[in-house]
Structure 1
């Protein structure tokens, strides 16, 4: 997950959930290829070997291909990162 000014999160995850402009989406390993526009809201990340991470974003896009998820957020709420 990246924002215009930084890498927000990187690693292996069991699941990722986000809000697209068409509704909620959940991404699991081996997900079909996908490209979607994100809406405003929380992105939930369940990392392998870690606690759930919640990041609040304002827009962007998500791409899934070859078992890799790329999420580019237009803006990230710094408070949601514990900053």
Structure 2
């Protein structure tokens, strides 16, 4: 089994969700992106839309996010948005 991703979704005023995941899917200004363990380091600007986090048991955590960025480095995914909330 691959190493899990460490994921944090934060808004301007709160930590929305943090935990381990097997995959993250988010919408950037350049299109939708999927992130798995071992992904190349990157920084992207978020477009308004869903951030879907898939957990090891197959369940999903879904958040709406807008106006922010997504960072990936060493299996750590950080999503910082002006507005973000679980749906």
Name whichever structure is richer in strand by fraction.
2
Normalised to the residue count of structure 2, the TM-score between the two structures is: 0.84
Q: Which has the higher contact order (CA 8 A, sep 6+)?
A: 2
Which 5+ residue runs of structure 1 have no aligned equivalent? Answer: none
Paired residue for 1:9, among 11, 17, 33? Answer: 17
Which 5+ residue runs of structure 2 have no aligned equivalent? Answer: 1-8
Match of 1:55 in 2: 63
Name whichever structure is richer in helix by fraction.
1
Match of 1:33 in 2: 41
1:28 CA drift (Å): 0.3
Of 51-60 and 11-20, deviating more is 51-60
RMSD: 1.3
Query: How many residue pairs get matched?
Result: 79
Of 61-70 and 50-59, deviating more is 50-59
Normalised to the residue count of structure 1, the TM-score between the two structures is: 0.87
Q: Which runs of 4+ in 1 moved over 6 A?
A: none
